[in-house]
Chain A
């Protein structure tokens, strides 16, 4: 594992995985407000996200991952993602599901560093630095 908890991380690039146009808009605006220099990648479900990760040379530092998505939802994405050799981007869940089971299932994965409830706000972004 490339990153370990407690170490300050500089975010240069972030990926948002969400099927909702509105949520993509809101999240990317919040990230930009936090740091306008952060490059943002947008994927509309797990399948797209895996494809984009495989294609890009410059990996994002963090992935904001929704749970409820068509085709491949967030948890299914984590299954696939954890099989990959290079898990350099760490993952922060960003979802409107505050169901305990979703939280537990997501946090079981090593790559998952935090679990944020929508909407993303400044305090969430601040926490990101300590991931």
Chain B
């Protein structure tokens, strides 16, 4: 027997240890992972914040550079020179330089600046007079300064930055919003986002004369900063109206400027970021947003110091996906999982080893016990020396085994004794000459012995498939069942009865049945013990004896009666005859005497028959060859004096003419009786009467038959044909009633069979002699 692994202690141990270890590893791992993730996240956010703060001054410096360029330019001599010359009919009162000259000088300064600052698109000196007409303008065309001719200068009075700049105090610098460059009032194509830095020019009296304007390409200015920094995040540089430059870390510093307000070429995620930053109320902060279906961290800083106007600022936002924050943790997580798996494997192995250590003594013990099965030796090799629970178990088991062994030994001995006595019982039963059986409560044969089988003609198996009721002769069943019930009810403890059984071959046997009931310890009936003795022979002998007895009684009764009756009659008749004679009644006297004579004749005949019978019964006779024909002829001669002999026709057909070996007196008695009966009981009312005597062979038999057309035997009397003192013919007063009886007895003695053959008219008697009974027996 193998325990399924899943049920074994080994499995349970491994399973629970593994479960506990795994659970604690997972729980603690998850806890520390979360803690570390949080801490790491915080560090990352802090780092992002400081990065943002570092970026901001870099950009501020780009603006400061522009501021200082403006400031330097405003202090160059041509600026005030042009103020003075313009107010003095285009001649400088100080050095008589013409306005034209000053303009030329300024243009060359502008050109020099443009050559050094590729981000500057144009440098202009714009006067308030004449509708804000440009005084000097140098354009940057592909990195080279181009001085704009006098006639191409434009009036900028309507431009927003122009109007905004009118309120500037001396020395103040104004940066315009980023906008597309416009030339002659039209947006220049391709679009060029520009920012304008403006410083006012006042005359010595403090009245505003004009302004210096630098148009700088916004992108270029910022990129100059970006070139200097290496960031690993997406960077947005956003102004207060939302226009921004986006630097994507994976696009190789390829910054892109987007007019947020124009919503041109702007992607949604960027717009999200920008809106978040714009709407943030604090100057600096960390935002956690979901952008582009990714969780991101936005760290922003709004720098307001760049611009004079507090409402304007430049915001820097670093965007980092949250996953990147905890990337190291994720790696650590993978490692942790690996460690956990390894730990579990190690645990399983350890648990297995531990389980083996624990289980092995148990297994060994089990093996010992199993191997010991069916062995009578004392049980050894159990780990009783162990000091742990297994040792204790082994010791307990060992003690228990000892006790059981002892008990088993006792039981074994008892069983042996039982088997022995059972064997004795069986053989006593089996070889008993008397039929014996164990019979179930419903009558089924449980166990039967050979004698019973033989008695009933069934095999043991056949008997066991039937019951005693089936085999009991119908008339005897009810009494048997009654007794059985009494036995079951405890009214009797045993019973005996004579009953008949029906054999397998259909024959009936007589049995002397003795039955007792076996009960169990609780007194409940268990089964019957039946003993059946075949008493058929005894019964038969008894029956024969009874028959003989009856016959003897009948004989004595009939002889006493039949002997007395004719005597009584005769006495009466003789007395009557005497009286009649005295009265002179001759006729009556004669009748009386005649009747008396008949009676006495009858008496004589009876006496003769009785004597014959007595003689026959006691006679011992040797067999001898006898000729039936001779017997018949002699009988016919003998009976010629009988009444009415002459009216009979005798037909002789004696085909069998051999001698038969038999007891002559017996055969003679039968032949004479049959012929004399045929003569006596002829039917005198018939015209012709005949007696036919035949002998012939019929197979293995020789038949002697006497046939007549006489009175015959009434149908209802034929069964009593061969009984003593049976007469069938009331009017025919002769006949002792012993003739047929004697014939039957004689036929029995010579091994033949005499029968009456029913026929319509008269009677036919046949004597059947089996040939083997009439052969000469030489050996005997």
Cβ–Cβ < 8 Å partners of A25 in chain B: 573, 591-592, 595
B730–A48 CB distance below 8 A: yes
Say yes or no: B557 contacts A99, CB within 8 Å: yes
Residue pair B565, A20 in contact (C-beta under 8 Å): yes
The answer to whether B572 touches A119, judged by C-beta atoms less than 8 angstroms apart, is: yes
- The answer on a CB contact under 8 Å between B572 and A44 is no
In the complex the two chains form, is A70's CB within 8 Å of B728's CB?
A: yes
Instruction: Show 22 A/B contacts (Cβ-Cβ < 8 Å), sorted by A.
Output: A20-B566, A21-B595, A21-B733, A22-B566, A22-B599, A26-B569, A45-B730, A47-B730, A48-B730, A68-B558, A68-B562, A68-B565, A70-B729, A96-B561, A96-B568, A99-B557, A99-B561, A118-B565, A118-B568, A119-B568, A119-B571, A119-B572
CA distance A37 to B569 in the complex (A): 24
In the bound assembly, the distance between CA atoms of A96 and B573 in angstroms comes to 15
Residues of chain B within 8 A (CB-CB) of A45 are: 730
Q: A19: CB under 8 A from chain B?
A: yes
Q: Smallest CB–CB gap between A100 and chain B, Å?
A: 11
B599 CB to nearest A CB, Å? 5
Which A residues lie within 8 Å of B778 (CB)?
Answer: none
The range of chain A's interface size is 20 to 34
Min CB–CB distance A101 → chain B (angstroms): 9
Contact call B731/A71, Cβ cutoff below 8 A: no
**With A21-B733, A25-B592, A70-B728 given, can you name 9 additional A-B contacts, CB distance below 8 Å?**
A19-B727, A22-B570, A25-B591, A26-B576, A29-B576, A45-B730, A71-B728, A99-B561, A119-B568
Provide the bound-state CA to CA distance between A20 and B714, in Å: 20
Which chain B residue lies CB-closest to A17? B730
A23 CB-CB contact with B under 8 Å? yes
State the CA gap A14–B293 with chains docked (Å). 147
- Are B729 and A22 neighbours in the complex by a CB distance under 8 Å? no
Pairwise interchain contact B730-A118, C-beta atoms closer than 8 A:
no
Taking CB atoms, residues of chain B closer than 8 Å to A99 are 557, 561
Whether B573 pairs with A22 at a CB distance below 8 angstroms is: yes
Chain B residues contacting A119 (CB-CB under 8 Å) are 568-569, 571-572
Bound complex: CA of A70 vs CA of B729, how far in Å?
6
Which positions 684-717 of chain B face chain A at CB distance < 8 Å? 714, 717
Q: Is A128 interfacial (CB-CB < 8 Å)?
A: no
- CB within 8 Å of A: which residues of B? 557-558, 561-562, 564-566, 568-573, 576, 591-592, 595-596, 598-599, 714, 717, 725-731, 733, 737
In the complex, are the beta carbons of A19 and B733 less than 8 A apart? yes
Contact yes or no, A44 B731, CB < 8 A: yes
Residues of B within 8 A of A20 (CB): 565-566, 569, 599, 733
* CB < 8 Å neighbour of B714 from A68, A69, A71: A71
Q: Which of B569, B592, B725 has the most CB of A within 10 A?
A: B569
Nearest Cβ in chain B — how far from A54, in angstroms? 17
Given A68-B562, A71-B714, A22-B595 contact (CB < 8 Å): yes
Residues from 94 to 131 in A contacting B, C-beta threshold 8 Å? 96-97, 99, 118-119
Query: Given that A25-B591, A96-B564 are known contacts, is A71 also in contact with B730, CB under 8 Å in the complex?
Result: yes
> Cβ of B717: which chain A residues have Cβ within 8 Å of it?
71
Chain B interface SS verdict (over half): helix
State the CA gap A97–B565 with chains docked (Å): 8
Instruction: Check if B569 sits within 8 Å of A22, measured CB to CB.
Output: yes
Give residues 1-46 of A contacting B (CB, 8 Å): 19-23, 25-26, 29, 44-45
Specify which of B570, B571, B729 lies most central, judged by the most chain A CB atoms within 10 Å of its CB: B729
Which of the listed residues B566, B591, B599, B730 has the most CB atoms from chain A within 10 Å of its own CB?
B730
| Given contacts A21-B598, A97-B561, A118-B565, A26 and B730 within 8 Å (CB-CB) | no
- B591 contacts A70, CB within 8 Å? no
| CB-based nearest B residue for A67 | B561
Residues in A with CB closer than 8 Å to B573 are 22, 25-26
Q: How far is the CA of A119 from the CA of B733 in the complex (A)?
A: 19
Measured between beta carbons, the chain B residues less than 8 angstroms from A26 are 569, 572-573, 576
Shortest CB distance B4–A (Å) = 90
- Which of A44, A70, A97, A99 gathers the greatest number of chain B CB atoms within 10 Å? A70
Q: Which residues of chain A have C-beta atoms less than 8 A from B592's C-beta?
A: 25
Least Cβ–Cβ distance between B219 and chain A, in angstroms? 154
Question: Quick one: given A25-B595, A29-B576, are A118 and B728 in contact (CB under 8 Å)?
Answer: no
What chain A residues lie within 8 Å of B591 (beta carbons)?
25
**Residue pair B730, A44 in contact (C-beta under 8 Å):** yes
Smallest beta-carbon distance A25→chain B, Å: 6
In angstroms, Cα B557 to Cα A68, docked, is 11
Residues of A within 8 A of B572 (CB): 22, 26, 118-119
Distance of B539 from chain A, by nearest CB (Å): 26
Partner of A69, one of B569, B571, B595, B730: B730
Which chain B residues border A22 with CB–CB below 8 Å? 566, 569-570, 572-573, 595-596, 598-599
Interface centre among A22, A44, A48, A70 (most CB of B within 10 A): A22
- In chain A, positions 45-87 with a C-beta closer than 8 Å to chain B are 45, 47-48, 68-71
Closest Cβ neighbor of B737 among chain A residues = A70
Q: How far is the CB of B317 from chain A (nearest CB, A)?
A: 142
Could you tell me the distance in whole angstroms from the C-beta of A39 to the nearest C-beta in chain B? 19
Q: Nearest-CB distance from A40 to chain B (Å)? A: 16
Residue of A nearest to B731 (CB): A44
- The answer for the CA separation of A23 and B595 in the assembled complex, in Å, is 9
Q: How far is the CB of A94 from chain B (nearest CB, A)?
A: 11
Give, as a whole number of angstroms, the nearest-CB distance from B570 to chain A: 7
Complex-state Cα separation, A118 to B568, whole angstroms: 7
Measured CB to CB, the nearest residue on chain B to A66 is B565
Q: Which residue of B lies closest to A46 (CB)?
A: B730
Q: Which residues of B contact A70 (CB under 8 A)?
A: 726-730, 737
Task: Give chain A residues whose Cβ lies under 8 Å from the Cβ of B728.
Answer: 70-71
A8 CB → nearest B CB, Å: 28
- Smallest Cβ distance from B566 to chain A, in angstroms? 8
Bound together, the chains give a CA A48 to CA B725 distance in angstroms of 20
Please give the distance in Å from B713's CB to the nearest CB on chain A: 10
In this complex, the member of B565, B573, B596 whose beta carbon has the largest number of chain A beta carbons within 10 angstroms is B565
* Chain A contacts for B733, CB-based, 8 A: 19-21
Please name the residue on chain B nearest to A117 by beta carbon.
Answer: B568
Q: Return the chain B residue nearest A99 by Cβ.
A: B557
Q: Chain B residues with Cβ under 8 A from A69's Cβ?
A: 730
Which residues of B have CB within 8 Å of A68?
558, 561-562, 565, 725
B710 CB → nearest A CB, Å: 15
Contacts of A21 in B (CB 8 A): 595, 598, 733
Q: Which 7 A-B pairs have the closest CB atoms?
A: A44-B730, A70-B727, A45-B730, A22-B569, A22-B595, A96-B565, A119-B572
Assembly CA distance A22 to B596 (angstroms): 7
Closest to B596 in A: A22
**Are A19 and B730 in touch, CB under 8 angstroms?**
yes
Bound form: Cα–Cα A45–B717 in Å: 14
Residue of A nearest to B732 (CB): A70
